[in-house]
Chains A and B, each alone.
Chain A
């Protein structure tokens, strides 16, 4: 079937979905196009001049993609991106359909695709990117993805198939990510955090892969930034963190060590596209976070800040960031739906240092009592449980005094629910 027909047809469908307000219709046009022609993506990209940037990793995809898109746009480039959450093959196909013009041309300088961990090997088969940014691999949704070693093995096989057309931009501080460039044809660049603020020598409970990706021996670290990320080396086979192409930048638009990594990845990419540091700095200084990622929402005259916390590492990092901000009132929302991962066992791997400094912690979500149990065993006493999320938010708002913020740590679907209550709008 002619692809131009699939594009027209898809565009029409997506208009209808939007008119009928069918919410989650953003992946359907792509889904149908791929069903009718499984080579749709490969074929429509073959003659395109648009440079493809793919961002993958457990944590930080959305923020990194947003930083890149913002900076490129500010610099006068034409950029499009797949819709947040539409990060499988059908999401890519859909975004191509929507962004092809009626003459059948993709009139853009760059496409930024944020890709799901599990879908990455499949996506790389269909489209060989100009740039592939790999941020990290953490334990996340084991019920869906399986163990992280399995994901890393699949990535390695897929990346071995890439050519010198692709530049890999890798997090050198994550041993499993750094190792992905071994024996590839690609051009490889590495970012990492130059020196840690808190020098840790041993990994924490949520750490996943502090074993040598080359020989399986336990790794040694000169320092650890968080989880299993840091300046690593192996005493046995002498593998070590690759030499960094970038280890610091003049401006970090979002707080938290994890956002340092997202920023460094973006800068390394933007420099490759020819952007000057001064221009990068300027666009970063006006950066507004993606929804739910440290996003600030006004509600009943008070400020609410949402820190998406979808797995033990992102929870630990969000918690640390708000503790450093001296948060007083915290709402934790724990759901166990498919986008969250149905298994919430990971809450026992999170660390809660300084929990006694919170004046109030409110808990809600599908698994409110599991989280409450977690706090009970932490011997924290000033928590309240709410089966109803709206009630939890109202109570939180009333407890916040003066210029204080209400901080919310939700899992993925809980973040969507929370935002809907705060803004009255649905995102997906």
Chain B
């Protein structure tokens, strides 16, 4: 199939914040940034990527229209949380002001109430998500494998999402947040209650790690649409893109797991 991308131009601009790309990139996380950037570009929406690191100021953080955070290895997670605490107020403001966020893999743990790693002290999170995560110790199996789940975002309730999860921590949601999706095959938040991920305002967290967005463009477009709506204070309808390959890749996982699309 021949593909051409038209490049319309609009006056829309988005600043996409990317949390600690150096420290929070374990499993191809940057795929999410690529997808957000390209899907904006193909629709004529200009993007700027703001790489957030120790030096980033609150003033810069306030310019963010869409925020992404990937997974850190355990050693790096400790470094990240120290630095995040200094930005706590600015980050909380973003979420409270309905800025869409996507946190995948281990990063939602840092934004929950706390995370108890398998060894060492409890890490106090930023408390943005009403949830607690506990690692049951090195003897318990990690929750690893392909996963399929059905989105619970309003308006998307029939959408299947697929990905790969690999986490030791088990997460329990509190009352003031909702799960992102319902698990069909795989483990999700804790392997027990059938919930996967978390949603609070426009902030999403998911254990589906690394490149979540390439195979699940529905979430990418939801984030872009929300970002534009919040920034430009009007209803936005995005022009559709050809997602044939994403659909086929999704089908392949669904088939492997014996799940209906």
Contact = CB atoms under 8 A, between A and B. Distances in A.
Contact of B31 (A139, A348, A379): A348
B140 interface: no
Give the most central of A218, A346, A369: most B CB within 10 Å.
Answer: A369
A369 B34 contact: no
Interface stretch (B153-161, B176-184, B227-235, B244-252): B244-252
Contact of A345 (B2, B28, B75, B249): B28
B30 A205 contact: yes
Nearest to B32: A348
Contacts of B125: none
B164 A376 contact: no
Given A147-B74, A343-B27, A369-B248, A348 B214 contact: yes
Name the residue among B26, B142, B146, B209 with the largest chain A CB count within 10 angstroms. Answer: B26
Interface in A107-146: 139, 142-143, 146
A343 B142 CA distance: 14
Contact of A370 (B4, B145, B215): B215
A379 B214 contact: no
B196 to A, nearest CB: 17
B145 A342 contact: yes
A146 to B, nearest CB: 8
B30 A381 contact: no
A369 B249 contact: yes
A349 B5 contact: no
A369 B211 contact: no
Contacts of A148: 73
B221 to A, nearest CB: 14
A374 interface: yes
Contacts of A376: 3, 245
Contacts, number: 91
A39 interface: no
B38 interface: yes
A421 interface: no
A345 B164 contact: yes
B3 A142 contact: no
Contacts of B34: 348, 377
A241 B234 CA distance: 56
Contacts of B29: 348
A162 interface: no
Contact of B38 (A216, A347, A348, A377): A377
B22 interface: yes
Contacts of A143: 144-145, 164, 166
B94 interface: no
A149 interface: yes
A345 B2 CA distance: 26
Interface in B118-152: 142, 144-146
Contacts of A381: 2-4
Contact of A377 (B35, B74, B252): B35
A422 to B, nearest CB: 25
A326 interface: no
Given A216-B79, A370-B215, A142 B27 contact: yes
Interface in B1-54: 2-5, 22, 25-31, 34-35, 38
Given A147-B74, A370-B252, 17 more contacts: A143-B145, A149-B73, A211-B75, A343-B210, A345-B28, A345-B209, A346-B210, A348-B30, A348-B211, A366-B252, A367-B252, A369-B245, A369-B246, A369-B248, A373-B214, A374-B214, A376-B3
Interface of A: 139, 142-143, 146-149, 205, 211, 216, 218, 312, 342-349, 366-370, 372-374, 376-377, 379, 381
24 contacts: A142-B27, A143-B164, A146-B142, A312-B28, A342-B145, A342-B164, A345-B27, A345-B31, A347-B28, A347-B211, A348-B28, A348-B30, A348-B34, A348-B214, A349-B28, A370-B215, A370-B252, A372-B245, A372-B248, A373-B215, A374-B214, A376-B3, A377-B35, A377-B214
Closest 4 CB pairs of A and B: A348-B31, A348-B28, A345-B210, A369-B249
